[in-house]
Amino acid sequence: MIDIYTEKVESKDWILQNDLYFNLNTSNEEMSENEIHLIQQVDEAKLTPDKHIETKYGLGTIRNLSSGCKTLLNIVKHPEKVVCVEECGPNVLKVIFTMDNIKIYMSRPTLADIPANAKIRFNDTDIVTGSKGYHAWWGKEYERREANDI
């Protein structure tokens, strides 16, 4: 199940500033083979054991990964937290929607690919399945926002 929250909450259990959280926390954690693969997949970056990276833009450290890649790693490393995905490009969102047991915040819908069997729960209440259910939920949400002049 992917939990999506659509109203922003300031809480220690939420990660809203992904660059900052990653640079100070997640980047200091050990990266698994799967996470090294995700870094390669999203940023086309090679991560060395001493946390340097090599990308098409040159050499750097793990803190030079893209904001989207940092967001993805924050989600993977901290599945108990609600992570803001508003800075993620379609290449990252596509990966996120293949994951399970994660919590994300988005205030508007994305056009990213969503698998037909993805189970999604909005705001701890409405459960939908796949791209069709996802977009149907957002359709109703926009009607609600319009009715409430939001």
Partner 1 sequence: MIYKRIAFKADPFSYDLVFGDRITLVGGDSGSGKTVLYEILEDLRLTDEYRAIKLFNYKSDNLFDSIIQCRDSFIVIDNADILMNDEIRKFINFEFSNQYLLFLRNCDGLNVSDKSFKVLKLDHNRITLEEEL
| Cα 129 to chain centroid, rounded | 18
Q: Which of 6, 67, 129, 131 lies at the binding interface for partner 1 (CB under 8 A)?
A: 67
For the chain, what's the residue count? 150
Q: Does 66 bind partner 1 (CB under 8 A)?
A: yes
Rg of the Cα atoms in the chain? 16
Q: Does 142 bind partner 1 (CB under 8 A)?
A: no
Q: Does 91 bind partner 1 (CB under 8 A)?
A: yes
Q: Cβ(113)–Cβ(16) under 8 Å?
A: no
Q: Which of 4, 88, 102, 114 lies at the binding interface for partner 1 (CB under 8 A)?
A: 88
Q: How far apart are CA 31 and CA 21, in angstroms?
A: 16
Question: From the CB of 131, what's the least distance to partner 1, in Å?
Answer: 19
Q: Which of 2, 4, 38, 45 lies at the binding interface for partner 1 (CB under 8 A)?
A: 45
Residue 108-127 contact track with partner 1, rule CB under 8 A, x = bound: x-------------------
Dihedral, CA atoms, 54, 55, 60, 63, nearest 10 degrees? Answer: -110
Look-up: residue for tokens 């359709």? 139
Interaction site with partner 1 (CB under 8 A):
16-17, 19-20, 42-45, 55-57, 65-69, 71, 84, 86-92, 107-108
